[in-house]
Structure 1
C-alpha cells in the first residue's frame, strides 16, 4: 500500500453568537503507515457541560485509536484488521459514554450534558465511519458528493416517513432535536459503516453548525473547486460565519490519494465505495 497518501486538517470555531465552543475535534495522520482519522464531537448541555462531554469523547477515541496500530495489529490479516478497527470504535464510544455519565453523577451542574459524534478512520484503502447524532461525514470524488451518515434526528425520521422534504427540514423548528447522543443512556447505539476506497477522495466530517447553513450542493461545490483541498475547512467555517454563525462550527478533512489509481484508467464498472457492513437502530429523542 505504499502508493497511498493521506493528509488531514481540521478546525473548530466558536461562531458569531455562542459564548463558548462546545465542539471538539482531533485529526491525525501517521507518516509511517497508511493510517489517518478525524473525530468531531458536538456537545450539548450548557454550563460548560457540552464542552466537557465533547472533549471526553474526542480524548477517549484518540487514546484508543492511537494505541491500535501496533505490532499485533500489523501482523494481522486485512480482514482481522478491519474487525479490530470496528471493535476499537465501538469500545471507545462505549467507554466515552460511561465517562460522560460518571462526570454527570459527580457534577450535578452537568446533568444535561451529552454529545454527538462522528469519527472516520482510514487504514490503507479501508474506510470506517462511526456516528451518533447529527454530526456528519461526506465523501467527495470525481463522481460527486456522497453523504456517508444519516442523521439520528427527529427531522430525518420525518423525512424517512415522507412527512418532510429535505428542504423543509432545513427550516423546521425541531431540526436540532436529535434522537441519539453519548452520555444520555447507559448504552449508546453507534452506527458503523465501512467501505473500500478505490480512488482519490476527500472525506469531510463536520458538526451541524456547518450544515445549518451550507447544503450538500454548496459543500460539493467547495470541495470540488477550492484548492489546496485541506484548506476547505477554513472556507467552510468562514462561509458559515458569514451566514450567521449561530452555532459552533467544526470541520475536518482527510485527503486520500491512491497514486496507482491516479496513474491508471478506471474501468467503466469501477466501484467508488463498496459497503462492507451496515447497522442502524433508533433511540429516544434528545433535545439540544
Structure 2
C-alpha cells in the first residue's frame, strides 16, 4: 500500500506589456483525500472579453471538479472512478463552452471572446488532462520532461506536416493563432488523455505567455533544480518577465509523491536493493 501526497501552487501575472490579465487559474489539493487539480485558461476577445471568457471557463470547470468527491465516487472501483473523472471533465468542458456562448448572446460586447483551457486532475496515482488550444501540461520526474499536450495551433499543424521546423515555428507570425477554443461554436472537442504515475513527479500547467520564452529544455532545468518545487511557479513568472513578458503569464505546479507503507513481517529480513528503473516513466491509459 502506498501513501500518496499531493501539493499544489499557482500564480498568474499580467506581464510587462498588457494592460489587462486575460489568464485565469484555479488550483486545489484536498486536505484528506489524494485529490488535486489545476485549471488554466487563456482568454481572447478584446477589451474585458478575454478576461471574462477565461474566468467563466476556469470557474465552470472548477465547480464540476469540486463537486466530484461524493459518497458515490468513493464506493466505486478504481476503474469506475477513472471513468467518472473522464466523464466529469468532458461535462465540465461542454458546460464551460455553453456558458461562454450564453454570455456572448446576452452581451454583444463579448461577441469575439473565447479561451483556451487546460485542466489536469490527480486522483491517487491517476492523472488525467483535458486541453483545448495552446495552453500546455508537462510532467517531470527523474527520467526527464514529457509534454503531455499537443497545441491546437496553426504552427503545430505546419510542424506536423513538415512545412515548418520547431525553430521556424517559434519565429512564425502566426505562432499565436489557435485552431480550437472554447466559446467559438456549439461543438467543442477537447483532447483528453490519462496516465498512471509510477514514481514521484512534478506536473506543470501553463499558458503560452510562459512557453513564448521558455522552451522544453529551459522548463526542464527549472523543474529539475529549483526547490522547493512548488516555488517553481514564481521562477517561471520571473524568467518570462525578464525575457520580455509580452503576454500574460500563468503557471501551476502539482507535486506528486508516493511512499510505500508496506511493513516487514517479523520473519522477514530487510534487504537493501538497488531498484531497477522501469522501461517507461509513466504508463499511458487513454488516448
**Which TM-score tier does this pair reach, normalised by the shorter chain?**
over 0.9
Residue 93 of structure 2: aligned partner: 93
1:99-248 to 2 correspondences below 5 Å = 99-248=99-248
Q: Taking structure 1 as reference, are residues 182 and 265 closer, same or farther at Cα in structure 2, changes over 3 Å only?
A: farther
Structure 1 residue 230, shift from structure 2 partner: 0.4
State the aligned residue count: 277
Matches of 2:174 and 2:193, distance apart in 1: 26
State the TM-score, normalizing by the size of structure 1. Answer: 0.94
Q: Which moved more, 1:264-273 or 1:37-46?
A: 264-273
Q: Aligned residue for 2:264?
A: none
Residue in 1 that maps onto 2:254:
254
**What RMSD in Å do the two structures reach over aligned CA positions?**
1.3
| Structure 1: runs of 5 or more not aligned | 279-288
Residue 269 of structure 1 deviates from its aligned partner by 3.4
Residue 266 of structure 2 is matched in structure 1 by none
The Cα of 1:46 is off from its aligned counterpart by 1.2
**Does the residue aligned with 2:150 lie in a helix, a strand or coil?**
coil
Aligned counterpart for 1:267 among listed residues 243, 251, 276: 276
Q: Deviations over 1:153-196 (max 9, x none)?
A: 00000000011111111110000000000000101010000000
- Shift in Å, 1:264: 8.0
Q: Judge conservation of contact 2:2–2:260 (CA < 8 Å) in 1.
A: no
**Deviant stretches of 4+, over 6 Å:** none
Kindly state the Cα deviation for residue 210 of structure 1 after the two structures are TM-superposed.
Answer: 0.1
Match of 2:81 in 1: 81
Name the counterpart of 1:34: 34
Unaligned runs of 5+ in 2: 262-271
CA distance in 2, matches of 1:214, 1:133: 18
Q: Distance in 2 between matches of 1:164 and 1:244?
A: 24
How far apart, in 1, do the equivalents of 2:231 and 2:278 lie? 32
Q: Which structure has the larger Rg?
A: 2
Question: Alpha carbons of 1:158 and 1:60: their partners in 2 closer, same or farther (altered >3 Å)?
Answer: same
